[in-house]
Amino acid sequence: MDAKLTDRQCRILPAGENALGEAKAALLDGQTVAIPTETVYGLAADATNGEAVARIFESKQRPSFNPLICHVSGIAMAETFASFDPLSRKLAAHFWPGALTLVLPLKEGHAIHPLVTAGLDTVAVRAPKGFGAELIEAVGRPLAAPSANRSGRISPTTAQAVADSLGDTIGLVIDGGPTQVGVESTIIKVEESKIHLLRPGGVAAEDIEAAAGQKLTRAEANAAIQAPGMLASHYAPNAAMRLNADHVEAGEALLGFGPERIAGAEKAKAVLVLSETGDPVEAAANLFDYMGRLDASGARCIAVEPIPLHGLGEAINDRLARAAAPRETI
C-alpha cells in the first residue's frame, strides 16, 4: 500500500457540528465515512456505488467473500431492494430502528451493488438508531457498513478505537460518543416461517422469540452457516484468550464478570470487570473496549471469568469464543 496513505491521519468530527453535511457530501462523492450506530461504529459507503463499497474492503483488508449489512432508514427504503415475508416484516416493525439485522431475498432489478452481497441473492438489512439514521435520511440511499475495524479485529465502540484501527486508511470518523449497545446486531433469517439465528447480538434471542411467538433455530457451531463472515477467529486481539477461567496464571490479564474475582486475580497484569453487578447489558457495552485495553497491557493471554449464557450473555460468549479460536491468517 501507498506509504503516504499509511501515514495519513483521519479527522474525527463530533456528531453535533456540521457532521451531517460533511458525511453526506463525502458519501455522495463515493468516499467512506466511519459513523456511530447504537451497536458499534460502522465504516459506511453508498451501497449502490461499487467503487465506494470497494474502498470499505480495501480499508478493512476484509476477504471479499464476506458480505456487508445494508443500513436503511426503515422498512420503506428496505422494500426498494428486498422482499419481506410476513414474519420478517413483523420483526422489523417491532425492533427497528434497532440492533436487529434481517437477511432477506433481493428483489429483481435492485440497485444494491453486488460487492455488498458478495454475489448472494440475499441481503442483510437493518435500520440503525441515532446519527446513522439521520445520515441515511439525508443521503436518501442505503449505506453498506461493516464494523469499522480491520478485518478479524475487535469491533470499535468509540471514535478513537476506529481511528486506532483504520485511521491510516480512512478520511473521516464521526464521533457520537461510546456506543450504547456495544456488540454488533443480532442477525436472523426467516425461512419457511422458521427463524434462524445466524449471529447472536444486541437484541437478545429471548426478546425476538417473545415478539415472534416462536423459538429461534440456532446454527450449529462451525456448520456452513449462511453468515459467511463468521470466521471462527473473528474479533481476535493480539493476546491469546482463555475462557471460563477459574484462576489467573503468571503474565495473564483478567477480564472479570460479577462481584467476585477468581483465584490469583491479584497477580494479573491488568484487571477489568465487564459488570460488577453481573449485568449482561452493561457487560456487552464494555466488552470490546475492555478486550482492547487488556490487549494493550501487553499480557500474553487474557483470562476470562465465566459469563452466564442468558440474554446478551449469548452474544458475549459467542464473541469471546471467536476471539479465543485458533487464529486464521488475516
- Please say which residue, 124 or 273, places its beta carbon nearer to Mg ion: 124
Task: Report residue 127 as a C-alpha cell.
Answer: 435500520
Shortest separation between residue 93's beta carbon and ligand TXA, angstroms: 19
CA 323 vs CA 126, 210, 239, 243: distances in Å: 25, 30, 9, 10
Cβ atoms within 10 Å of 50's Cβ, excluding its own: 15
Strand pairing category for 271-273 and 252-256: parallel
Shortest separation between residue 193's beta carbon and ligand TXA, angstroms: 18
- Please say which residue, 131 or 290, places its beta carbon nearer to ligand TXA: 131
Residue 44 interface partner, choices Mg ion, ligand TXA, none, CB cut-off 5-8 Å depending on type: none
CA 326 vs CA 150, 220, 322: distances in Å: 18, 18, 9
What sign results for the dihedral spanned by CA atoms 319, 193, 206, 80?
positive
The separation between CA 210 and the C-alpha centre of its own chain, rounded to angstroms, equals 24
Shortest separation between residue 65's beta carbon and ligand TXA, angstroms: 9
Shortest separation between residue 227's beta carbon and ligand TXA, angstroms: 4
- Please say which residue, 106 or 148, places its beta carbon nearer to Mg ion: 148
Q: Does residue number 39 form part of the binding site for Mg ion (CB under 5 A)?
A: no
Residue 142 interface partner, choices Mg ion, ligand TXA, none, CB cut-off 5-8 Å depending on type: none
Binding to Mg ion by CB under 5 A, coded x per residue (else -) over 131-150, reads ----------------x---
- Please say which residue, 69 or 273, places its beta carbon nearer to ligand TXA: 69
Q: Given the rule CB under 6 A, which residues bind ligand TXA?
A: 37, 39-40, 42, 66-69, 101, 103, 117, 120, 122-124, 128, 145-147, 184-185, 187, 198-199, 226-230
Residue 227 interface partner, choices Mg ion, ligand TXA, none, CB cut-off 5-8 Å depending on type: ligand TXA
- Round to whole Å and give the CA distance between 144 and 146: 7
Burial class (CB in 10 A: 0-12, 13-18, 19+), 325: middle
Give one word for 213, left, alpha or beta, with left for phi > 0 and alpha for psi -120 to 50.
left
- Please say which residue, 88 or 101, places its beta carbon nearer to ligand TXA: 101
Instruction: Assess contact for 152 and 42: CB atoms under 8 A.
Output: no
- Please say which residue, 305 or 318, places its beta carbon nearer to ligand TXA: 318
Q: How far apart are the first and last CA of the chain?
A: 16
Binding site for Mg ion (CB under 5 A): 147
